[in-house]
């Protein structure tokens, strides 16, 4: 079985409130970021190269990309829906993203992904 990954990609600062598919059965787990897990920063204060908010939380089922670290904060103040949202911030002139391995995606098929963003600039680099 092949696994594909779906990424949240951000240049500079992005607040992401929701990401999911329009199919009847969601392919992403925890696409709304409601479920979180406590992370334990190392001696350098980082988790996999990332700076986390306080408390240090990471959305369940999502991975921090160690090749493109940034800052991740799980917020609860005025989410579009639900109780939480994530804010990811890249280093100056850099990129950062979270990703999730997805089962069931098929090569050559079209999938629609939607996201709600607010805050700083966002650049879609998926077509590059």
Q: Does pTM surpass 0.75? A: no
List, in order, residues 6 or more apart from 91 with CB less than 8 Å away. 69, 70
pLDDT value at residue 79: 81
Q: Running along the chain, 128 residues long, what does each successive block of 10 average in pLDDT?
A: 43 37 68 94 96 96 94 88 89 85 87 77 58
Give the dihedral sign, CA 75/79/81/82. positive
Helices (H), 6-126: none
Task: Name the strand (E) or helix (H) holding 118.
Answer: strand 113-118
Task: Name the strand (E) or helix (H) holding 3.
Answer: none
Find out whether 59 and 28 touch, Cβ atoms under 8 Å. no
pLDDT value at residue 36: 96
In the 8-state DSSP scheme, what is residue 45?
S
Find out whether 39 and 60 touch, Cβ atoms under 8 Å. no
Q: What is the CA radius of gyration of the chain?
A: 14
């Amino acid at each position: 079985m092949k696994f594909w990954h779906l990424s949240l990609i951000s240049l500079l600062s992005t607040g992401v409130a929701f990401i999911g598919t329009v199919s009847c059965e969601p392919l992403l787990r925890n696409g709304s970021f409601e479920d979180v897990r406590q992370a334990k920063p190392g001696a350098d204060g980082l988790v996999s190269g990332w700076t986390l908010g306080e408390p240090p939380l990471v959305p369940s089922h999502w991975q921090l990309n160690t090749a493109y670290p940034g800052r991740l904060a799980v917020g609860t103040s005025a989410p579009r829906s639900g109780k939480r949202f994530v804010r990811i911030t890249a280093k100056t002139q850099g990129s950062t993203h979270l990703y999730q391995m997805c089962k069931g995606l098929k090569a050559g098929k079209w999938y629609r992904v939607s996201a709600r963003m607010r805050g700083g600039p966002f650049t879609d680099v998926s077509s590059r």
